[in-house]
Structure 1
Amino acid sequence: MARPTVKRARQLRRNMSAPERLLWQRLRQRPNGFKFRRQHPVGDYIVDFCCLSERFVIEVDGISHEMGSGPMQDDKRSRFLRENGFRVLRVAAARVMADADGTAEAIAARVASPLHRPADGPPPRTGEAR
């Protein structure tokens, strides 16, 4: 028997929002060679999209994320994901609807070049060359 989060993830895959469907059409093509999953369980949460090899999560935020307790819930969720080694990118649903191709390209570029690469050590101080 499937865990409750797996069962819920399957339901969410069948009932994706319009922005999620548009973005999924692009991400499923493996931009820059990165494989994405949709509606993927991480702990007790189900993230919109996830590139497991890079531990990168994309959350598509509609207007409901800006109202009521939405921002607090999003912060709690993002904190949990970061504490568990994931980088989190929140994308406005309106941006996806306006330019799904550009949004997918920007996501692939962000996955490909993280801001900090721990294996490279700390960044050089101002004025120092590597």
Structure 2
Amino acid sequence: MAKPATEPAIGGGNDISEGIMEIVRPALQELDSQVKNTRKSQVSLAENVQKLSEYLKEILDEKQMPFDLGDYVRRLDDSTKRISNVQTRIQAMHDKMTQLQRQIAKETFKQKHPKTDDAVVATEAEPKETEGTSES
């Protein structure tokens, strides 16, 4: 039968937060996976660019070419700096995303278990009340 109006609905606002988490969680996990893969490819690319740069420097030092490889070496060095900058930004975004995901999980947990927090507060308050009444 129908519940009386005075009883609180089970779940209440938790259903909304759980629903949001269920929607957001797969996207966050996919994004996390993509960030990790991007970071791996960035590291690999940086290593390959560094190897190529070193190889071009060796060629430049060993042989006198009719064209200047120094421009290409500088471009590769510039690309290496850009890759490093992008990698730093991706790491910062990943850290922020991880922190946000933890905060969401923490809030969801708090909303799912509000009575646990109330019980802790109540047990901490009881000794203070009994001490105050015995002194009076």
- What interval of TM-score do these two structures reach, taking the shorter chain for normalisation? under 0.3
TM-score scaled to structure 2, two decimals? 0.22
Structure with more of its chain in helix, by fraction: 2
TM-score scaled to structure 1, two decimals? 0.22
Structure with more of its chain in strand, by fraction: 1
